[in-house]
Amino acid sequence: MTDTIIHVGDVGTTFRLKILHPNDVETYGDLAGTPIDVSGANVKTFYFMKPDKTKHSVTAEFESDGADGKLVYTTIEDDIDAVGKWQVQAYVEIGASKYFSTKAVFSVNGNLA
């Protein structure tokens, strides 16, 4: 997701998530756990859930061309506004198909200033 230590008010922190086929070999065979080609996605969203359980969404971008299933979002002012445990999840729509990434949990630290 990100290797950065995150603080309240951070701007420019990049989150990276990947959309994968479910890790179910019986159903997906050789595709289980592999990236879904999301290059045709007409909706690309990151959903963030704050420590108080409120949610907000932002528009994600492809990290490359989307064939690798990777999406990114770089924070702007007021995105990261609370200390505590957060969650983030990517979502895409490709025609009638809808896919989510695994949820990732991250901590936001306070500041002295």
Domains of the chain: 6-109 (2.60.40)
Give the model confidence (pLDDT) of 31-67 as tens digits.
778 899 999 999 999 999 999 999 999 999 999 999 9
H or E element at residue 107: strand 104-109
Burial 34-66 (b: 16+ CB within 10 A, else e): eebebeebeebbbbbbbeeeeeeebebebeeeb
Contact 8, 83 (CB under 8 A): yes
Above 80 in pLDDT, residue 30?
no
Q: Is the pTM of this model over 0.85?
A: yes
